[in-house]
């Protein structure tokens, strides 16, 4: 290994990059006995920070690469395969109207019109022979072509997340869930903070709208729109996933004396069914639902979208059609919560990194992993569920030479309770029919029954519901501000790195408290460095839940970096505006954040790496105490080096992707899971393969007496 280090340093120094210099200087400063750890840390930083996941030796080559390929790798394989005459369903993303030449080519090959035209997204869905993919991609108006892949579904939540503390929090003498504001005339008004008036769109397997969990305070149904995008022409929930997800975000709490109240129990629900009776769907169906949201967002005041579903993240977020659609929604002012996925371990039970699903790999989305509360409301025993997918993101784009450039973003952004969650059960649904033990035995009444499910699907709607509350508390918040506030106030969980938990576990109490302090008079100009809060004194960065106090993260994930400091909340940052995202395009320069040429206000500390264990940051040659990498208990043995593209280097030998680093595994490059199926992120049977207590520990079911609780 010591013979290999000089070669690594020479290569890095000759490269002239920030990281080459960093490696060289770190080695020169460190003691010889720490050579291995410095190299590990420097190269771990490379995983996240080198553009597109290029190895050190390839960096110079990358500077003169040709244009990016315009066809997804799986579609390209079909186009050049032995059966390229087969007709395949594709999604064509356009940057202009189709030309006469492209239409003529399609007509010549039997394509007479599109199956779907999604005007808001500038997308057309067509069936065409795979043999003409290269010809179609050559037209200037074609931005990207990909397969229309299939999609699938992938405690006391309000107590442990702090939502109950928000409801009891008041600045007036009243004891209900209130927010008190003063009008310009000096009149004090009181509003219940429960999501009233906010539209929450749930893209899932449908919704059992007759379930009592979806009634409003006056007894009316809160599902204001129901549409089907699967072709089955039904809007109920025969699969059972969507009702459970929707009630986590916005169930009303009438059952079992509010034991299963959702985060925003009076929000308006928009039921967009994109997963069929077997829990599967298509990319085109998902895109059609997102296109509908863009068209109708103002009519129904849709401010939040929940996507507890996913497909393998193959294409870079810059090209993937779902990611690009999500970005359009966020740019239009809509918060999108996305499940991270449930591929956090392999069949041998080993940790797996790099398996974040699409659209969880989209930087503008709030990507949510699953926390395990072990059935308690207090937070001191919480951890990340072992099945929850870990970063970095492994989606990529391919240049004209065939070289892959990986996105390598830190994901998830947050974690939220997702293990053994009890919530609404759709009558006669497939999940319970095939797995009767999922029924929580809460009620004898069909429209009051509750069921168990686990997964990042259950965690995402917790965040979606929290976003609804933040927007009700302060309607002027942009999606980026909502995301930043949720990360800033999160609780970092000891023993888990940022690839597992992002900023930490959601803290709704802190996020809402901070959101209420954000100025509502910033207008559209929002100058850089303007005072962001209505007070010059930042709030105490601490929350107490169920008797356990914890300190906020006080930082945000910036794509491949971590930013920390009170200026993130005291001064308006340009990355909080519409039309930008918190992480994309952000670079580090002389200690300040630079994004699209705009300098973020001072006082923000930026690191070049990620937090790997108990708050220790792997960056700038920092030595991690006790040789612990990745997370507590996992040691980078034998001086292993982490390089980009998932490659592991040991003793000068390059080892193929997927090799085990201690008990952590890097996901193989370009692996397609479940043949491109978009899945719901629920773990059926509460993740039957789960170990270490994640399955056996959960809140005990509270029996329903059949009488509505109306004090939620």
Reply yes or no on whether 213 is catalytic: no
Cα separation, 592 vs 600, in Å, equals 7
Mark whether 22 and 89 lie in a shared domain: no
C-alpha triplet 564, 565, 569: angle, nearest 5°: 110
95 in a domain, yes or no?
yes
Residue 635 binned pLDDT confidence (cut-offs 50, 70, 90): very low
- Catalytic one of 36, 59, 211, 241: 241
Mark whether 194 and 54 lie in a shared domain: no
597 in a domain, yes or no?
no
Is residue 658 pLDDT above 80, yes or no? no
Q: Which residue range(s) make up the domain with 479?
A: 157-523
Mark whether 211 and 235 lie in a shared domain: yes
Cα separation, 662 vs 683, in Å, equals 26
406 in a domain, yes or no?
yes
Mark whether 42 and 162 lie in a shared domain: no
**Whole-Å CA distances, 120 to 82, 125, 472:** 36, 13, 27
Cα separation, 564 vs 574, in Å, equals 16
Reply yes or no on whether 112 is catalytic: no
Cα separation, 113 vs 645, in Å, equals 40
Q: Which of 488, 523, 558 is the last residue of a domain?
A: 523
- Write the pLDDT tens digit of every residue in 119-143: 999 999 999 999 999 999 999 999 9
Q: Which of 147, 168, 186 is the last residue of a domain?
A: 147
pLDDT for the residue 580: 84
Is residue 104 pLDDT above 60, yes or no? yes
Mark whether 166 and 29 lie in a shared domain: no
pLDDT for the residue 162: 72
557 in a domain, yes or no?
no
Residue 677 binned pLDDT confidence (cut-offs 50, 70, 90): low
Mark whether 61 and 110 lie in a shared domain: no
Cβ contact 414:583 at 8 Å: no
Cβ contact 154:412 at 8 Å: no
- Write the pLDDT tens digit of every residue in 356-365: 999 999 999 9
Is residue 493 pLDDT above 90, yes or no? yes
511 in a domain, yes or no?
yes
Of the candidates 45, 34, 127, 42, the one whose C-alpha atom is nearest the C-alpha of residue 86 is 127
Average pLDDT taken over every residue of the chain: 77
- Write the pLDDT tens digit of every residue in 24-37: 333 333 333 343 44
pLDDT for the residue 707: 86
502-505: long-range contacts (C-beta < 8 A, 24 or more apart)?
Answer: 502/367, 502/369, 502/410, 502/411, 502/412, 502/413, 502/414, 502/415, 502/557, 503/413, 503/414, 503/553, 503/555, 503/556, 503/557, 504/414, 504/415, 504/553, 505/371, 505/379, 505/382, 505/414, 505/415, 505/416
Cβ contact 250:306 at 8 Å: no
Mark whether 339 and 372 lie in a shared domain: yes
Cα separation, 218 vs 263, in Å, equals 19
pLDDT for the residue 410: 96
Mark whether 414 and 320 lie in a shared domain: yes
Helices 283-296 and 321-331 cross at an angle (nearest 10°) of 10
Mark whether 242 and 352 lie in a shared domain: yes
What's the structural domain count of the chain?
Answer: 3
- Write the pLDDT tens digit of every residue in 347-381: 888 899 999 999 999 999 999 999 998 888 889 99
- Catalytic one of 74, 148, 204, 315: 204
- Write the pLDDT tens digit of every residue in 520-561: 887 666 677 789 999 999 999 999 999 999 999 999 998 888
Is residue 23 pLDDT above 80, yes or no? no
Reply yes or no on whether 389 is catalytic: no
Cβ contact 595:574 at 8 Å: yes
Q: Which of 147, 171, 192 is the last residue of a domain?
A: 147
Q: Give me 623's structure tokens.
A: 């030595």
- Catalytic one of 45, 454, 457, 601: 457
pLDDT for the residue 192: 77
Tokens 């030479």 correspond to what residue? 401
Strands 605-607 and 561-564 come out as: antiparallel
- Write the pLDDT tens digit of every residue in 307-328: 999 889 999 999 999 999 999 9
Average pLDDT over residues 600-619: 59
């Amino acid at each position: 290994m010591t013979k290999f280090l000089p070669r690594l340093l020479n290569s890095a120094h000759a490269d002239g990059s920030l990281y080459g210099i960093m490696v060289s200087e770190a080695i020169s400063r460190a003691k010889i006995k720490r050579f291995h750890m410095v190299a590990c840390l420097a190269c771990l930083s490379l995983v996240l920070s080198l553009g597109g996941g290029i190895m050190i030796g390839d960096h110079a080559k990358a500077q003169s690469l040709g244009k990016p390929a315009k066809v997804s790798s799986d579609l390209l394989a079909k186009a050049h395969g032995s059966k390229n005459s087969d007709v395949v369903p594709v999604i064509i993303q356009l940057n202009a109207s189709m030309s006469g030449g492209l239409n003529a080519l399609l007509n010549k090959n039997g394509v007479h019109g599109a199956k779907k035209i999604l005007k808001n997204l500038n997308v057309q869905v067509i069936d065409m022979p795979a043999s003409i993919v290269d010809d179609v991609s050559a037209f200037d108006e074609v931005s990207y072509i990909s397969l229309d892949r299939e999609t699938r579904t992938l405690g006391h939540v309000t107590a442990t997340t702090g939502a109950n503390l928000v409801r009891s929090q008041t600045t007036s003498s009243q004891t209900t869930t209130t927010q008190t504001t003063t009008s310009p005339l000096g009149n004090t008004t009181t509003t219940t903070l429960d999501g009233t008036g906010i539209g929450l769109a749930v893209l899932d397997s449908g919704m059992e709208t007759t379930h009592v969990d979806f009634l409003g305070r006056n007894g009316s149904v809160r599902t204001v729109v129901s549409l089907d995008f699967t072709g089955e022409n039904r809007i109920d929930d025969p699969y059972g996933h969507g009702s459970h997800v929707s009630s986590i975000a916005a169930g009303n709490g009438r059952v079992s004396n509010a034991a299963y109240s959702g985060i925003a129990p009076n929000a308006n629900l928009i039921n967009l069914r994109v997963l069929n009776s077997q829990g599967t769907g298509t990319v085109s169906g998902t895109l059609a639902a997102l296109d509908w949201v863009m068209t109708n967002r103002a009519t129904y005041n849709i401010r939040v979208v929940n996507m507890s579903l996913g497909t393998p993240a193959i294409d870079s977020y810059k090209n993937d059609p779902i990611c690009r659609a999500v970005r359009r929604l966020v740019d239009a002012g809509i918060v999108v919560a996305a499940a991270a996925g449930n591929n956090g371990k392999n069949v041998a039970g080993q940790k797996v990194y790099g398996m974040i699903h699409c659209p969880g790999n989209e930087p503008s989305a709030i990507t949510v992993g699953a926390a395990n509360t072990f059935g308690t409301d207090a937070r001191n025993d919480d951890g990340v569920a072992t099945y929850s997918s870990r970063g970095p993101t492994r989606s990529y784009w391919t240049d004209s030479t065939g070289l892959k450039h990986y996105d390598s973003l830190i994901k998830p952004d947050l974690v939220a309770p997702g293990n053994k969650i009890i919530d609404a059960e759709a009558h006669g649904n497939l999940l319970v029919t095939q797995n009767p033990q999922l029924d929580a035995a809460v009620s004898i009444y069909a429209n009051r029954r509750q069921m168990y499910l686990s997964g990042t699907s259950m965690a995402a709607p917790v965040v979606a519901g929290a976003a609804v509350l933040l927007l009700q508390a302060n309607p002027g918040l942009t999606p980026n501000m909502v995301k930043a506030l949720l990360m800033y106030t999160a609780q970092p969980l000891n023993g888990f790195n940022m690839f597992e938990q992002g900023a930490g576990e959601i803290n709704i109490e802190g996020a809402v408290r901070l959101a209420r302090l954000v100025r509502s008079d910033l207008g559209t100009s929002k100058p850089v460095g303007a005072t962001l809060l209505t007070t010059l004194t930042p709030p105490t960065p601490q929350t107490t839940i169920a008797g356990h106090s914890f300190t906020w993260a006080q930082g945000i994930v910036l794509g491949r970096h971590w930013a920390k400091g009170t200026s993130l909340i005291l001064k308006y940052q340009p990355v909080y505006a519409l039309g930008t995202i918190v992480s994309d395009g952000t670079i580090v320069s002389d200690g300040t954040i630079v994004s699209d040429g705009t300098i973020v206000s001072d006082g923000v500390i930026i690191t070049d790496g990620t937090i790997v264990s108990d708050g220790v940051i792997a960056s700038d040659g920092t030595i991690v105490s006790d040789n612990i990498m990745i997370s507590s208990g996992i040691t980078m043995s034998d001086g292993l080096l982490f390089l980009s593209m998932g490659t592991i280097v040991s003793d000068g030998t390059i080892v193929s992707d997927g090799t085990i680093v201690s008990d952590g595994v890097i996901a193989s490059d370009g692996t397609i899971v479940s043949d491109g199926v978009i899945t719901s992120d629920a773990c059926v049977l509460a993740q039957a393969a789960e170990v270490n207590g994640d399955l056996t520990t959960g809140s005990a079911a509270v029996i329903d007496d059949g009488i509505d609780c109306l004090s939620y």
